[in-house]
């Protein structure tokens, strides 16, 4: 007769009812601790031990997170924020572990089973401790992770085009993505030219130099530097991408050697 292990809430597993004459099967499961999550893919495991003479199967339910399913589970953290994660049957983390026919783990006899968890990359919810619980009729175990403050940044190129001695303006977009509620600052370096500062930047063409400036406002009056003293830009993370415009200007009446000029600016996000 097929013996069935029933798994209920989070990472807790239990066996289903057995006929009076059948032997008893047991299942114990350790907790799953992911550790610190910083926005990159993070894996974790829990270990279960099955003691049973016959055949068994273990369904794994969705857990306790709001809106959770057997393919997308949620740990809950500060003020109800949720951190998505998944549970798989295999170390490659390709076979989902669910609670419907065909998604349950099956086996025979005494066995050690591993629950392979994974938190997908790119989640920027509020920092703090996140937990969930999976349960069955006879046992349960917790799933935990600590989400640390984190920020990511990308930037587009600033292209001035042709300069003919008249004022030349251009823009670039710096996109910052920080964990929700995380304060941050964005600084722009002086660039690569010798003698350049955050208030007197210079593009280069060999030894020839073309001065330019970077600002944080469209009126091009507030310099964008790399410290509080030189007007870095500050903000607070929302968990989604925040676009910041960098306003560039090459002043009029500059007559360096004709040619192609360039510079590289380093964007520094501090949080």
- Kindly give, in sequence order, each residue whose CB lies less than 8 Å from that of residue 74, ignoring residues fewer than 6 positions away: 63, 65, 66, 67, 68, 82, 83, 84, 85, 132
Q: Name the residue among 184, 167, 166, 162 with its Cα closest to residue 175.
A: 184
pLDDT, one tens digit for every residue, the chain (271 residues): 223 333 333 333 333 433 334 568 889 999 999 999 999 999 999 999 999 999 998 999 999 999 999 999 999 999 999 999 999 999 999 999 999 889 999 999 999 999 999 999 999 999 999 999 998 656 799 999 999 999 999 999 999 999 999 999 999 999 999 999 999 999 999 999 999 999 999 999 999 999 999 999 999 999 999 999 999 999 999 999 999 999 999 999 999 999 999 999 999 999 9
Which domains are delineated in the chain?
A: 5-147 (2.60.40.10), 151-270 (2.60.40.1090)
Measured in whole angstroms, how far is the alpha carbon of residue 223 from the centre of its chain? Answer: 31
Measured in whole angstroms, how far is the alpha carbon of residue 102 from the centre of its chain? Answer: 31
Confirm if 130 and 77 have CB atoms less than 8 A apart: yes
């Amino acid at each position: 007769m097929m013996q069935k292990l029933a798994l209920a809430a989070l990472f807790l597993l239990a066996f289903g009812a057995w006929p009076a004459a059948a032997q008893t099967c047991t299942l114990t499961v350790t907790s799953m601790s992911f550790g610190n999550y910083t926005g990159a893919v993070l894996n974790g495991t829990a270990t279960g031990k099955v003691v049973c003479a016959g055949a068994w199967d273990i369904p794994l339910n969705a857990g306790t997170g709001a809106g959770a399913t057997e393919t997308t589970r949620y740990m809950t953290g500060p003020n109800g924020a949720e951190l998505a994660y998944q549970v798989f049957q295999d170390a490659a983390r390709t076979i989902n572990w669910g609670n419907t026919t065909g998604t349950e783990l099956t086996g025979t006899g005494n066995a050690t089973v591993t629950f392979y968890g994974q938190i997908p990359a790119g989640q920027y919810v509020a920092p703090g401790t996140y937990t969930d619980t999976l349960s069955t009729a006879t046992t349960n175990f917790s799933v935990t992770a600590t989400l640390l403050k984190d920020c990511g940044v990308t930037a587009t190129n600033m292209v001035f085009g042709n300069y003919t001695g008249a004022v030349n303006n251009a823009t670039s977009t710096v996109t910052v993505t920080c964990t929700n509620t995380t304060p941050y600052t964005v600084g722009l370096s002086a660039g690569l030219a010798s003698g350049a500062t955050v208030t007197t930047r210079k593009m280069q063409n060999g030894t020839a130099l073309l001065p330019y400036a970077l600002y944080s406002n469209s009126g091009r009056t507030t310099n964008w530097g790399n410290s509080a003293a030189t007007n870095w830009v500050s903000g607070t993370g929302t968990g989604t991408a925040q676009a910041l415009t960098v306003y560039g200007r090459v002043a009029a009446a500059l007559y360096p050697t004709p040619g192609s000029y360039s510079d590289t600016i380093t964007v520094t996000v501090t949080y």
